DNA sequence: CTTGACCGGGG
DNA sequence: GTGTACGGTCAAG
């Protein structure tokens, strides 16, 4: 029989000493497990000298551990050169590491290769499967009571359409815990809301289901997941928190945590510093894992709390209930419906985040060939590397070995190399700024200059590109396209095509969203190659390639600046791939400028017009030089774009942040006096006690329990005082406090916001408002004293 | 200035 | 499990 379905996940098991690949599918007729028993584990040996000598030595080998089931002489491409290798096949995957060690000791062996690629990945890469798109399997039905669905013994597997990606069938969940016991478990899905509550009385909401005990809650929770049987299970920080709790509590009650489609319990896959909770037969995605590893790079928020991430991506907030309130409410059995609603909200946010994030994970999976479980938890470096390994398999390229710890240390100890060029701005206000930037600068440099470890310093080459970096000269052979440029060629070309086609699609359609996710995945991956070349743990690490890339980037920016200056524009600022230009004729001469720059650029590279701004503010550093990476821009429609002002952080009060934004806005609207007035008025309000203490709150997280601090710090003292009032504050809690009026040190007067009846105006003026305002207004000659409303001559700080 | 410990998210 | 992979910040040395 033949079955077509979306490939959710893959793994392998060993039965009767035979490795069996298991593919978990979702089909229109329900879950399917396809088992393949014909795939053989293998690795490669590179001969020290002669391939026949090597083959003979391996044939004579009597392994102490593991079984060699066959060998084959074949040819692969190694660092751009043809290389004869011996493919060694083993009985089971665990034999591979054992046998490669024994083989590597043979004199005839130079080195072993491709011995550490997990068996299920090897299978997916070699068959060019792209989870979670659709595949077709052929074979006979099989009885397997351990799987909740149909099982078939597959004899053939093939990818069908890669653009037919798994439709959403998602269940979000979240736990609430009090004193190490689960008190609530919420679920959210399309048309489904449920909060299980370990408390039988007092709840009104229709979605609440009371249960009699924690054990009953766990049993009901597992039953709900099995009953709803979702392909995808999501949550926020579920790998490191919720599943940890579930494991512990199930153990406590003697329950098995089985919520997958097999009879196996949830397993925890250690991967360096993270663990992933694997639910067999489904895709468990921890949205925090993907947000923190991949998405945070392009996000504005500094913290990756569910609240902040939902705020930025969805424009929505969690309900306004603090952890302290939750504990108290539960302890006193008060506001129970608010509690349930809070619990539900977290699942709802996770579900809504999943609607936008999961398709991105899927697109990256289709591109890299990783299963969504892995894509969700993989760093940029691993994403690139897995993509390269799969492409290497398709091109008969021999994958380099991972560097040893010693080698990684050596790479680190080489220190940093020069990055992008940053133009030091002249401080003050600049008018009429046009910003231009290079479209995908580093990917297009690598592509158009054929920068790659396998084109570097080639012995026989007719067309060489020399790049001088410091004292060194690196040459990249232009005769044939290198491995990395070839990959980027595909990625960049496809992305440009999709970007073009997007313009003809309606944004509301699924086709648009699919194409947009695909182009975003292409962008994420292609932008990660440059970083990968300089990543010390990379198999294809090439510091010369990374250095040459930034060197060429600096050259292109300099040439762009030269052309701009020749044309009479003034350069206000520039950073790595962008230039900020000024000049009365900038609007009319823009096309000429772009033409001149673009005509000097090689193919693929392009300078684009990014935007026009009426005014820009640049500050200077304490040394009196133009501050790089710190500026504010005002667009013609009144939008502010603020970059790098360090006071715009959570460890500053909201009043300070808002004051700085207002000051910047006034200054950009050519109203410096108005900016000063904002400061003066804010100071007056503070002095008169007219400011809401909420806007003075400062947030700091506790790294340890309050009593374990040796030093006296405001947040620690506030926490200690709160403890005396009966609060339970532990390591990891975020403390929100206000500096109150009165005598003693700052720390003595720090109180949790809820207990702050007043505030210390002097503190907020001197330590919060003046610094953020002065940061901007010093550019216009204002001293801190002047902003405080004192005569410059006084020089005394009366508030000290 | 360099080195080592700590931290992220969750309740 | 064909295991075990981060990067930034901050206090101490």
Distance in Å from C12's C1' to A701's CA comes to 21
Is any atom of strand C within 7 angstroms of residue A378's beta carbon?
yes
pLDDT category of residue A788 using cuts at 50, 70 and 90:
confident
> Closest residue by Cα to the C1' atom of nucleotide B5?
A703
- Report which DSSP code applies to A769: I
Residue A132 exposure: Cα atoms within 13 Å on the Cβ side: 28
Rounded mean pLDDT of A695-714?
Answer: 70
Rounded distance, CA A77 to CA A222, Å? 50
**What pLDDT band is residue A649 in, cutting at 50, 70 and 90?**
low
Are A660 and A778 in contact by the 8 Å Cβ rule? The answer is no
CA of A731 to C1' of B7 (A): 11
Strand ranges in A229-354 using DSSP code E only, listed in sequence order: 232-235, 267-271, 274-278, 283-286
Contact by Cβ (8 Å): A584, A432: yes
CA of A274 to C1' of C2 (A): 21
Q: Any atom of strand C under 7 A from CB of A114?
A: yes
* % pLDDT > 70, chain A: 95
Cβ of residue A272 lies below 7 Å from strand C: yes
Alpha-carbon torsion (A647, A649, A650, A656), positive or negative: positive
User: What average pLDDT does the segment A745-766 reach?
Assistant: 81
Helix (H, G, I), strand (E, B) or coil at A157: strand
Segment A354-388, tens digit of pLDDT = 999 999 999 999 999 999 999 999 999 999 999 99
Cβ < 7 Å from nucleic strand B: A 174-178, 236-237, 240-241, 273, 288, 292, 303-307, 323, 326, 346, 701, 703-704, 730-734
Distance A102 CA to B6 C1' (A): 40
Distance A721 CA to C12 C1' (A): 28
pLDDT given for residue A127 in this prediction: 96
Whether cis (ω within 30° of 0) applies to the bond prior to A456 is no
- Distance (Å, whole) CA A26 – CA A31: 5
At CB < 8 A and 24+ separation, what contacts does A272-278 make? A274/A239, A274/A240, A274/A377, A275/A239, A275/A240, A276/A239, A276/A373, A276/A376, A276/A377, A277/A238, A277/A239, A277/A243, A278/A373
CA A128 to C1' C3 (Å) is: 24
Distance spanning both ends of chain A, measured CA to CA: 84
DSSP state of A398: P
Q: How confident is the model at residue A324 (pLDDT cuts 50, 70, 90)?
A: confident
Q: Is the CB of A753 under 7 A from strand C?
A: no
HSE value, Cβ hemisphere, 13 Å, CA-based, for A408: 10
Please compute the mean of the pLDDT values over residues A742-767 and round it to a whole number. Answer: 81
Is A406 or A248 the better-scoring residue by pLDDT? A248
Distance A712 CA to C12 C1' (A): 17
- What are the helix (H) ranges across A688-749? 714-724
Asked whether strand C has any atom less than 7 Å from the CB of A407, the reply is: no
How far apart CA A442 and CA A604 sit, in angstroms, is 11
Overall average pLDDT of the A447-467 stretch:
95
Whether the pLDDT of residue A732 is over 70: the answer is: no
Residue–nucleotide distance: A708 CA to B6 C1' (Å): 15
Pairing of strands A232-235, A283-286: parallel
List of residues 6+ apart from A112 with CB closer than 8 A: A43, A44, A45, A46, A100, A103, A104, A401
Stated in angstroms, how far is A600 CA from B1 C1'?
A: 43
> Dihedral, CA atoms, A611, A612, A617, A622, nearest 10 degrees?
40
Q: pLDDT of A19-48, one tens digit each? A: 999 999 999 999 999 999 999 999 999 999
pLDDT of residue A708: 66
Structure tokens at A362: 């899927």
> Region A779-783: what's the mean pLDDT?
88
Nearest-angstrom CA–CA distance, A629 and A422: 8
Is the C-beta atom of A19 closer than 7 angstroms to strand C?
Answer: yes
Residue A465 β-bridge partners = A476
> How far out from the chain centre does Cα A306 lie?
14
pLDDT for the residue numbered A628: 76
CA of A131 to C1' of B8 (A): 29
- At CB < 8 A and 24+ separation, what contacts does A655-661 make? A655/A682, A655/A691, A655/A695, A655/A696, A655/A764, A655/A768, A655/A769, A656/A764, A656/A768, A656/A769, A656/A771, A656/A772, A657/A772, A658/A695, A659/A769, A659/A772, A659/A773, A660/A772, A660/A773, A660/A775, A660/A776
Return the number of other C-beta atoms located less than 10 Å from residue A434's C-beta: 22
Let me know how long chain A is. 800
> Is the pLDDT reported for residue A112 higher than 60?
yes
The yes-or-no verdict on residue A792 having pLDDT over 60 is: no
Q: What's the Å distance between residue A465 CA and nucleotide B10 C1'?
A: 52
Nucleotides of C under 7 A from a protein CB: 1-7, 12
CA separation (Å) from A279 to A251, A283, A355?
17, 7, 20
Looking at per-residue pLDDT, the higher value among A418 and A346 belongs to A346
Nucleotide nearest to A271 (CA to C1'): C4
A66 touches strand C (CB under 7 A): no
> What is the mean predicted confidence (pLDDT) over A254-269?
95
> Do residues A11 and A124 touch, judged by C-beta distance below 8 A?
no
**A118 CA, C1 C1': separation in Å?**
8
Would you give the distance in Å from CA A277 to the centre of its chain?
A: 18
Q: Which residue has the tokens 């229109």?
A: A28
Considering only CA atoms, which residue is closest to the C1' of nucleotide C2?
A: A116
Q: Give the C-alpha distances (Å, rounded to integers) separating A233 from A121, A217, A381.
A: 22, 18, 26
Q: According to the 3-state scheme, what is the secondary structure of A28-60?
A: CCEEEEEEECCCCCEEEEEECCCHHHHHHHHHH
Q: Work out whether strand A422-423 and strand A570-575 pair parallel, antiparallel, or are unpaired.
A: antiparallel
Q: Quick check: A131 CB within 7 A of strand C?
A: no
Q: Please name the helix (run of DSSP H) or strand (run of DSSP E) that holds residue A290, with its range, or none.
A: helix A287-293
Q: Is A125 (CB) below 7 Å from strand C?
A: no
Residue A41 CB in 7 A reach of strand C: yes
**Would you state the pLDDT for residue A800?**
26
Distance between the alpha carbon (CA) of A63 and the C1' atom of C1, Å:
21
Query: What nucleotides of chain B have any atom within 7 angstroms of a protein Cβ?
Result: 6-11
**Choice between A492 and A162, residue whose per-residue pLDDT is larger:** A492
A539 CA from B10 C1′ (Å)? 34
In the prediction, which pLDDT does A527 show? 94
Q: What is the pLDDT of residue A710?
A: 60
The band of A10, judged by pLDDT with boundaries at 50, 70 and 90, is very high
**Over the stretch A299-316, which tens digit does the pLDDT of each residue have?**
888 789 998 899 999 987
**CA-CA distance, A312 to A5, in Å (whole number)?**
35
Distance of C1' in C7 from CA in A412, Å? 13
Measured CA to C1', the nucleotide nearest A116 is: C2
Buried-exposed string A484-504: b where 16+ CB fall within 10 A, e elsewhere: bbbbbbebbeebbebeeeeee
Rounded, the Å distance between the CA of A378 and C1' of B3 is 29
The reply to whether A269 has its C-beta less than 7 Å from any atom of strand C is yes
Statement: residue A406 has pLDDT above 50: yes
What is the distance between the alpha carbons of residues A498 and A491, in angstroms, rounded to a whole number? 11
* Spatial distance between the Cα atoms of A240 and A477, rounded to a whole number of angstroms: 47
Give the lowest-confidence range in A378-392, A493-507, A705-719, A774-788. A705-719
Encoding tokens for residue A223? 């039953």
pLDDT of A694 reads: 77
Whether any strand C atom is under 7 angstroms from the Cβ of A708: the reply reads: no
Mean pLDDT for the stretch of residues A406-435: 88
Separation of alpha carbons A126 and A120, rounded Å: 10
The mean-pLDDT minimum among A604-618, A629-643, A739-753 falls in: A739-753
pLDDT given at position A315 = 87
Least confidently predicted of A143-152, A370-379, A536-545, A788-797: A788-797
Strands A192-197 and A208-210 come out as: parallel
How many Å does it take to go from CA A295 to C1' C3? 26
Residue A93 approaches strand C within 7 Å at CB: yes
Protein CA A309 to sugar C1' C7 (Å)? 20
Check pLDDT > 90 for residue A739.
no
Which range is least confidently modeled, A88-102, A240-254, A628-642?
A628-642
pLDDT digits (tens, 9 = 90+) for A591-617: 999 999 999 999 999 999 999 999 999
A426 vs A790: which has the higher pLDDT: A426
pLDDT of A703 higher than 50 = yes
Each residue of A95-107: pLDDT tens digit?
A: 999 999 999 999 9
Q: Which residue is nearest to nucleotide B9 (CA to C1')?
A: A237
Nucleotide nearest to A89 (CA to C1'): C2
For residue A377, which nucleotide's C1' is closest to its Cα?
Answer: C5
Q: Which nucleotide is nearest to A92 (CA to C1')?
A: C2
pLDDT at A799: 32
* Nucleotide of closest approach to A405 (CA, C1'): C5
Separation in Å: B5 C1' and A408 CA: 21
CB A12 within 7 Å, strand C: yes
> Any atom of strand C under 7 A from CB of A416?
no
Calpha distance A166→A260 (Å, rounded): 18
Q: Is the pLDDT of residue A622 over 70?
A: no
Mean per-residue pLDDT of chain A: 90
Q: Which two tokens stand for residue A224?
A: 């709900």
The CA distance from A52 to A328, in Å, is: 76
Give residues with Cβ within 8 angstroms of A244, minimum separation 6.
none
- CA A32, A38, A44, A47: dihedral to nearest 10 degrees? -170
Task: Say what the pLDDT of residue A798 is.
Answer: 32
Task: Please give the average per-residue pLDDT across A723-747, as a whole number.
Answer: 74
Q: Which residues are CB-neighbours of A57 under 8 A, at least 6 positions away?
A: A106, A107, A108, A109
Q: What percent of chain A has pLDDT over 90?
A: 68
| Beta bridge mates, A21 | A12, A36
pLDDT score of A624 more than 90 = no
Least confident of A274-283, A568-577, A649-658: A649-658
| pLDDT of residue A731 exceeding 50 | yes
A660 pLDDT exceeds 60?
A: yes
């Amino acid at each position: 029989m033949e079955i077509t379905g979306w490939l959710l996940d893959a793994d392998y098991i060993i039965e009767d000493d035979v490795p069996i690949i298991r593919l978990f599918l979702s089909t229109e007729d329900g879950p399917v497990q396809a088992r393949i028993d014909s795939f053989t584990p293998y690795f490669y040996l590179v001969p020290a000298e002669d391939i026949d000598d090597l083959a003979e030595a391996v044939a004579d080998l009597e392994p102490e551990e593991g079984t060699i089931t066959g060998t084959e002489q074949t040819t692969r491409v190694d660092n751009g050169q043809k290389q004869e290798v011996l493919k060694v096949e083993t009985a089971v995957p665990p034999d591979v590491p054992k046998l490669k060690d024994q083989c590597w000791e043979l004199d005839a062996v130079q080195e072993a290769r491709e011995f550490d690629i997990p068996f299920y990945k090897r299978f997916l890469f070699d068959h060019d499967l792209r989870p979670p798109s659709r595949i077709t399997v052929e074979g006979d039905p099989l009885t397997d009571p351990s799987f909740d669905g149909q099982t078939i013994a597959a004899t053939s597997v093939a990818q069908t359409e890669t653009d037919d990606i798994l439709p959403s069938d998602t269940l979000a969940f979240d736990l609430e815990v009090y004193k190490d016991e689960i008190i609530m478990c919420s679920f959210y899905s399309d048309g489904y809301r449920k909060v299980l509550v370990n408390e039988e009385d007092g709840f009104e909401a229709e979605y609440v289901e009371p249960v009699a005990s924690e054990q009953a809650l766990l049993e009901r929770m597992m039953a709900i997941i099995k009953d709803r049987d979702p392909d995808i299970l999501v949550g926020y920080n579920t790998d490191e928190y919720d599943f940890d709790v579930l494991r512990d509590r199930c153990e406590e009650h003697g329950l098995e945590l089985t919520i997958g489609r097999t009879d196996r319990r949830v397993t925890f896959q250690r991967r360096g510093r993270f663990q992933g909770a694997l639910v067999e037969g489904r895709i468990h995605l921890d949205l925090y894992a993907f947000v923190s590893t991949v998405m945070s790079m392009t996000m504005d928020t500094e913290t990756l709390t569910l609240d902040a991430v939902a705020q930025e991506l969805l424009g929505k907030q969690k309900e306004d209930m603090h952890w302290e309130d939750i504990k108290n409410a539960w302890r006193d059995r008060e506001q129970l419906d608010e509690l349930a609603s809070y619990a539900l909200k977290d699942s709802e946010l996770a579900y809504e985040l999943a609607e936008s994030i999961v398709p991105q994970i899927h697109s990256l999976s289709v591109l890299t060939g990783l299963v969504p479980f892995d894509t969700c938890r993989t760093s940029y470096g691993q994403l690139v590397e897995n993509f390269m390994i799969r492409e290497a398999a398709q091109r008969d390229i021999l994958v380099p070995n991972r560097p040893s710890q010693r080698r990684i240390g050596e790479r680190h100890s080489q220190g940093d190399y020069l990055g992008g060029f940053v133009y030091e701005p002249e401080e003050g206000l600049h008018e009429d700024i046009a910003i231009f930037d290079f479209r995908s600068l580093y990917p297009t440099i690598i592509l158009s200059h054929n920068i790659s470890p396998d084109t570097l310093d080639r012995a026989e080459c007719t067309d060489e590109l020399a790049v001088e970096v410091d004292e060194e000269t690196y040459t990249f052979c232009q005769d044939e396209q290198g491995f990395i440029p070839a990959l980027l060629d595909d990625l960049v070309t496809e992305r440009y095509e999709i970007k073009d086609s997007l313009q003809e699609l309606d944004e509301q359609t699924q086709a648009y969203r699919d194409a947009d996710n695909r182009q975003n995945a292409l962008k994420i991956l292609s932008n990660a190659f440059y970083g990968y070349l300089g990543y010390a743990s990379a198999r294809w690490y090439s510091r010369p390639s990374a250095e040459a890339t930034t060197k060429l980037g600096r050259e292109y920016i300099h040439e762009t600046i030269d052309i701009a200056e020749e044309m009479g524009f003034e350069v206000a600022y520039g950073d790595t791939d962008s230039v900020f230009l000024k000049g009365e004729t900038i609007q009319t001469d823009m096309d000429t400028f772009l033409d001149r720059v673009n005509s000097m650029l090689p193919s693929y590279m392009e300078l684009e017009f990014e935007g026009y701004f009426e005014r820009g503010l640049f500050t200077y550093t304490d040394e009196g030089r133009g501050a790089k990476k710190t500026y504010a821009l005002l667009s013609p429609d009144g939008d502010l774009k603020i970059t790098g002002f360090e006071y715009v952080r959570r460890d500053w009060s909201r009043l300070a942040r808002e004051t700085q934004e207002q000051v910047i806005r006034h200054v950009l609207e050519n109203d410096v006096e108005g900016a000063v007035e904002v400061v003066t008025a804010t100071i007056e309000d503070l002095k008169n006690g007219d400011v809401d203490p909420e806007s003075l709150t400062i947030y700091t997280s506790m790294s340890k329990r309050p009593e374990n601090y040796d030093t006296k710090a405001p947040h620690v003292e506030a926490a200690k005082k709160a403890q005396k009032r009966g609060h339970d504050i532990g390591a990891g809690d975020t403390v929100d406090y206000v500096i109150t009026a009165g005598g003693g040190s700052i720390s003595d007067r720090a109180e949790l916001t809820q207990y702050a009846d007043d505030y210390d105006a002097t503190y907020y003026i001197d330590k919060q408002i003046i610094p953020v305002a002065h940061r901007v207004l010093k550019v216009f000659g204002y001293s801190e004293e002047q902003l405080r409303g004192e005569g410059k001559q006084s020089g005394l700080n009366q508030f000290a």
